[in-house]
Amino acid sequence: GAGVSQSPSNKVTEKGKDVELRCDPISGHTALYWYRQSLGQGLEFLIYFQGNSAPDKSGLPSDRFSAERTGGSVSTLTIQRTQQEDSAVYLCASSSRVGDQPQHFGDGTRLSIL
Amino acid sequence: DAKTTQPPSMDCAEGRAANLPCNHSTISGNEYVYWYRQIHSQGPQYIIHGLKNNETNEMASLIITEDRKSSTLILPHATLRDTAVYYCIVRVASNSGYALNFGKGTSLLVTP
């Protein structure tokens, strides 16, 4: 079946611009996660959505970062006034329910800030 | 979540079994062991997970010691496409949801 889909796959933008990254989770998955991975580094948790509950935003690095999930499905991650240190691969994952079910990842959006 | 320790790198000949170890000596009774891998330029790929019993699926086998303080991921017949970074993650199964802590993993190189 279809996996987690992320778009765009690559994004190059100038410092100071706003960017939106999109994630389409696996159909029926109620939990959705955003992570980022800087070059040569591990994954850093950003934000988590579960159903209609308030999202866990504890990993967002600054108030320039925000995310929403409309209709319990598609999610967008927005970065305002981008900085060069925002350059990274942004990964989205979803899972069918919480508990022991694994998260399944998309291939990410590679964001480059010039 | 319990901390995990993995060797930074391993080699394996194509066609042989790859045995990737993971230590998680502080694991709690309600924590699962998950294995993921990440092939260059791709997102992490789920492989297998378990709590107490050994598990097997089409990709791999997971052997968890009786005291649950360590585990081994076994790729029975490694291929060149199995070259990747393998991550062992321990986490609680929680209805509150849980971010994954990937650590540095083991870089597995499968050679011809």
Give the tokens for residue A84. 């060069």
Q: What is the mean pLDDT of residues B2-23?
A: 95
Residue A86's SS3 state is helix
Question: What pLDDT score does B95 carry?
Answer: 60
Residue B2 has pLDDT above 80, yes or no: no
CA–CA separation, A67 and A106 (whole Å): 17
Cβ–Cβ under 8 Å, residues A93 and A104: yes
Those residues with Cβ within 8 angstroms of residue A114's Cβ, 6 or more apart along the chain or in another chain: A12, A13, A14, A15, A84
**Average pLDDT, whole number, for chain A?**
92
Mutant choice from A7, A36, A100 vs B, greatest count of B C-beta within 10 A: A100
Q: What is the dihedral of CA B88, B91, B93, B97, to 10 degrees?
A: -110
Question: What pLDDT score does A96 carry?
Answer: 85
Q: Residues 45..104 of A with a Cβ closer than 8 Å to B: which? A: 45, 48, 50, 56, 59, 91, 93, 98-100, 102-104
- CB-defined contacts A:B, below 8 A: 57
Residue A103 has pLDDT above 70, yes or no: yes
Tell me what percent of the residues of chain A surpass a pLDDT of 90.
Answer: 72
- Minimal C-alpha gap between A32 and chain B (Å): 10
Question: What pLDDT score does B94 carry?
Answer: 66
Question: What pLDDT score does B96 carry?
Answer: 61
How long is chain A? 114
Q: What is the mean pLDDT of residues B4-27?
A: 96
pLDDT tens figures, B23-64: 999 999 889 999 999 998 899 999 999 999 999 999 999 999
Which bin fits B76, alpha (ψ -120 to 50), beta or left (φ > 0)?
Answer: alpha
Instruction: List b or e across B54-88, with b for residues whose CB sees 16 or more CB atoms inside 10 angstroms.
Output: ebeeeebbbbbeeebebbbbbbeebeeebbbbbbb
Those residues with Cβ within 8 angstroms of residue B108's Cβ, 6 or more apart along the chain or in another chain: B9, B10, B11, B12, B18, B20, B78, B82, B83, B84, B85, B86
Of A35, A48, A102, the CB nearest to B46: A102
Label the pairing between strands A43-50 and A10-13: unpaired
Whether residue A43 and residue B100 make contact (CB cut-off 8 A), yes or no, is yes
pLDDT tens figures, A52-82: 888 888 899 999 999 999 887 999 999 999 9
Question: What pLDDT score does B80 carry?
Answer: 97
CB of A39 less than 8 A from some CB of B: no
Whether residue B94 and residue A56 make contact (CB cut-off 8 A), yes or no, is no
pLDDT classification of B97: cutoffs 50, 70, 90: low
CA–CA separation, B92 and A28 (whole Å): 22
Whether residue A98 and residue B97 make contact (CB cut-off 8 A), yes or no, is yes
Question: What pLDDT score does A41 carry?
Answer: 82
CB of A4 less than 8 A from some CB of B: yes
CA–CA separation, A69 and A27 (whole Å): 14
Which residue is it, tokens 């690095």?
A61
Residue A62 has what DSSP assignment? S
pLDDT tens figures, A1-52: 589 999 999 999 999 999 999 999 999 898 999 999 998 788 899 999 988 8
